[in-house]
Structure 1
Amino acid sequence: MERKMAMVVTFVKMEEQDQLDVQFWQSKPASERLAEVTRLRINYYTWLNGSYPKKIAKVVAKRTL
Structure 2
Amino acid sequence: MKKRKMAMVASQVKIDEEDLRDIQFWLDRPASERIAEVTRLRRAYYGWLLGTYPQHMEKTVTQRNDDI
Q: How many residues align?
A: 59
The TM-score with structure 1 as length reference comes to 0.84
Unaligned runs of 5+ in 1: 60-65
Q: Distance in 2 between matches of 1:56 and 1:2?
A: 51
Q: Distance in 2 between matches of 1:23 and 1:46?
A: 29
Unaligned runs of 5+ in 2: 61-68
- Name the Cα RMSD after superposition: 1.6
The TM-score with structure 2 as length reference comes to 0.80
Q: Percent identity?
A: 58
Compare CA radii of gyration and give the structure with the larger one: 2
**Runs of 4 or more consecutive aligned structure 1 residues displaced over 3 Å after TM superposition:** none
